[in-house]
A = this chain, B = another copy of it.
Amino acid sequence: MDNLKTYDMKAQEQIRLDVLKRSRLFGGLLPAELKDLIVYSTSVRYDKGASIFKEGDRADFFYAVQEGLVKLYKGTFSGKHFTFTVAGPSDTLNATAVSGDNYFMSAQALNEVVLLRIGRTPYLAFLSKHHTVALELIAMLARRLNRECDRVVGLLGEDVEHRLLISLFTLARKFGTSLSLTREELASCAGTTTETAIRVLSRLKKQGIISGTAERGGIIITDLTKLQKLVAENEGWI
């Protein structure tokens, strides 16, 4: 019994180690080095729709996705919200919350989710010990900053239809052509309303780019090449 438990622990730790090893932030480290960090990690489960943390909360934990999808978003005053990114396995949720004591976005489980969780203190201690991780963090931050600036320009310069195309293409590249997102969730990725997103999707269906109705709460992209062509049409490249 005791043996079995120990074995389980080992297996769990191995899984979490793999998650970190595959992440961009820690990918450069040796497993041996990561072990120091894994000791402080736990796995936590969230039901579909559950809130993981909210903008403004004290950032007590660092998270990485083990299984499932997590939506990272910010709310607007008018009750709507904009989805900045959908995180999948081995994505970190808040690597950037290092400095700043509070989360600056909210995170919500899109389906049944398992997260790897590490306390703020051991996480920060580990960061300051490993120079290369700090450098990778700078690179990640710079990339994301760059991306958000592009998004600002995109919101001003492109019409809703094109923003939706970009969102679809980005999601497809990351998660494959079979997306389990509701129209509402897709809309919030492109910064528009559910109705407008639906109208655009209807048009795409007529052009044979996305499939019939897919199952409830899903979008299937049937012609990725054509989608890519449409995305590339109006811009240098994102």
**Residues in chain A within 8 A of chain B (CB atoms):** 74-78, 80, 82, 84, 96-100, 104-105, 134-135, 137-139, 141-146, 148-153, 155-158, 191, 234-236
Option from B75, B98, B234 in Cβ contact (under 8 Å) with A142 = B98
Of all chain B residues, the one with the shortest Cβ separation from A96 is B142
Q: A141-B141, A152-B148 are in contact. Are A157 and B80 (CB under 8 A)?
A: yes
- SS class, residues of chain A in contact with chain B: helix
Q: List 28 A-B contacts (CB under 8 A).
A: A74-B150, A74-B152, A74-B153, A76-B153, A76-B156, A77-B234, A77-B235, A77-B236, A80-B157, A96-B145, A98-B138, A98-B142, A99-B135, A99-B138, A100-B139, A100-B142, A100-B146, A104-B146, A134-B134, A134-B138, A137-B138, A138-B138, A141-B142, A141-B145, A144-B145, A148-B149, A152-B191, A155-B155
Q: How far is the CA of A137 from the CA of B135 in the complex (A)?
A: 10
Whole-angstrom distance from the CB of A231 to the nearest CB of chain B?
A: 13
CB pair A82–B156 under 8 Å, yes or no, is yes
